[in-house]
Structure 1
């Protein structure tokens, strides 16, 4: 319970301002049904989740659409309570709407800067920067239609897997789900040759958002609901780290969640959250053990 209190209060108050001074707005969004055979000893029960690809003119953000909607609903609910209470946190009820575990990693790509950013939330945000992976696609003559979108086939070896991708040249984005990129059109669908990993097309829409729609900060300090919904950016207070160090942090979080949360908040303004939490009603839904993953997306 202590871990949940700290986690949800931190989620409420943590600063989500972003590194780019003027982040790109998403001009379109694509959704995918993600299917992953995480445990090769249990192939009949793959992990499944709806994912979201936010598309800017020169950038993209790939994230859990389930988590995205949950966070937006959570923050909107907090905003409504604070507004109804005259801007006060007194009597605030924090209710988790997380009915299932979701992926907590975001993959951001900034094409003009040849840069990617893996953002992982472990109470604090951690960021691993890298250059955009260069994938040697072989474009085929095969074509197919996905919900009326004409696509062409391409194949490549990447991350230890043989990938098959279907891209739409009519949608002029270099991006795709996860780290897949570099085709002359949006990657609509992709999977490896064993179909252990599948990104199945679920929808595409234009956002019709312009600069005049970029609003000011909302009532909850440091949170901008619009940023969650329409801007492509990574937290400017994210702690830069390496892939190796991030693995150690994930392991520590899985092995001792409560102790990890205390260590993360130590020495920060959130160290005194217990006092606020004692005055706050927290309704938890469930906790989940670390999943068995012996078949990661990227093998090498």
Structure 2
């Protein structure tokens, strides 16, 4: 039988590295406001279009006050919380994320009609910060209806940065809000997906809940959407070059697993070897 070898893991300086983000301390923060609603979405997304059966999952938390909202990954928050608690206890080894988290937080400022996006680059890369208008989406209303969580919802569509989106929103909750950057419909978005099914957000809970909306005090790198999109594309085009950029003294090895025997072997990546990573961004 012909042995098939598959690229599974990369290692940097003897530590496991995947295309995910390193956890950070959440000890330092400022309070943006107090939520009136907390909406939870189950998110599923496809990172590698050549492997359509490998779906990643996360929960996106949307905290809404009268002046601000914040959308963020619960999985990333959990990693950060675990890291912070371990750090306080003097631990030197921290658990690695078991799976990828959606690396984007979005804070919407209703008074200014803009949003600030915080995008974590893979591994120990920078956390980018950039601003955009909230008026990004040109929604087209339809007469189609569907019931979600007991709410009557209408369907709206839009084209946005390379994807066609279908959104289901309810006017029973007159909040022009949704997960991630989505906003601008005359009711809360309870479900939204792109036409390929690569990215899906399904609302699973809506709570009237008061809790602080926090912005963590990280070292953000000011940028723009265009610059961040280019940076992320370059990182995935050649992960070896990206690792050298963020850790010049590090080395990188590739692990291959024999699919018949299960044996794993390693080899060091050459200095100029290109190591691409699958990339299917939410904004193409």
TM over 0.5: yes
Distance 2:22 2:47 in 1: 31
Contact 2:24 2:83 in 1 (8 A): no
Question: Is the Cα contact below 8 Å between 1:3 and 1:258 reproduced in 2?
Answer: no
Residue in structure 2 matched with residue 108 of structure 1 by the alignment: 107
Tell me what 1:233 maps to.
Answer: 215
Report the CA distance between 1:4 and its aligned residue.
6.4
Match of 1:246 among 218, 228, 236: 228
2:111 partner SS = helix
Q: 1:255 to 1:247 in 2, by over 3 A?
A: farther
Given the alignment of the two structures, is residue 292 of structure 1 paired with residue 278 of structure 2, yes or no? yes
**Partner residue, 2:82:** 73
Q: Cα–Cα, structure 1 residues 245 and 68, in superposed 2: closer, same or farther, change >3 Å?
A: same
Contact 1:125/1:235 (CA < 8 Å) preserved in 2? Answer: no
The alignment partner of 1:11 has SS state of coil
User: By percentage of residues, which structure has more helix?
Assistant: 1
* Among 17, 29, 40, the residue aligned to 1:17: 29
Superposed structure 1 runs of 4+ greater than 6 Å apart = none
What RMSD in Å do the two structures reach over aligned CA positions? 3.3
One of 135, 139, 142 as aligned partner of 1:140: 142
Check the 8 A contact 2:76/2:101 in 1, yes or no. yes
Structure 2 Cα separation of the partners of residues 240 and 62 of structure 1: 19
Matched, 1:45 2:54: yes
**1:298 CA drift (Å):** 2.2
Aligned residue number for residue 180 of structure 2: 178
Contact kept? 1:2, 1:258, Cα under 8 Å: no
Superposed counterparts of 1:86-235, under 5 Å: 92-96=91-95, 98-122=97-121, 123=124, 124-209=126-211, 230-233=212-215, 235=217
Taking structure 2 as the reference length, what is the TM-score of the superposition?
0.69
- Deviations along 1:85-127, whole A, 9 cap, x unmatched? xxxx5xx444225222222221222122122222123444321
Distance of 1:179 and 1:138 partners within structure 2: 17
SS of match in other structure, 1:112 = coil
What is the CA-CA distance between 1:243 and the residue it aligns to?
A: 3.2
Shift in CA distance, 147/3, structure 1 to aligned 2, threshold 3 Å: farther
Separation in 2, partners of 1:180, 1:77: 35
Give me the whole-angstrom Cα distance separating, in 2, the residues matched to 1:38 and 1:116.
Answer: 25
Equivalent of residue 35 in structure 1, options 31, 37, 44:
44
SS in 1 for 2:76: helix
Kept in 2, the 8 Å contact 1:49–1:102? The answer is: yes
Which range is displaced more, 165-174 or 239-248?
A: 239-248
Greater share of strand residues, 1 or 2? 2
5+ residue gaps, structure 1, are 82-88, 210-229, 264-288
Unaligned runs of 5+ in 2: 1-11, 249-274
Q: 1:258 to 1:41 in 2, by over 3 A?
A: closer
Give per-residue Cα distances to partners, 1:23-80, cap 9 Å, x unaligned. 122322222222223333222223332222222223222221111122223323444x
Q: Is the 8 A contact 2:23 2:80 kept in 1?
A: no
- The alpha-carbon distance between structure 1 residues 184 and 58, as it changes in their structure 2 partners (threshold 3 A), is farther
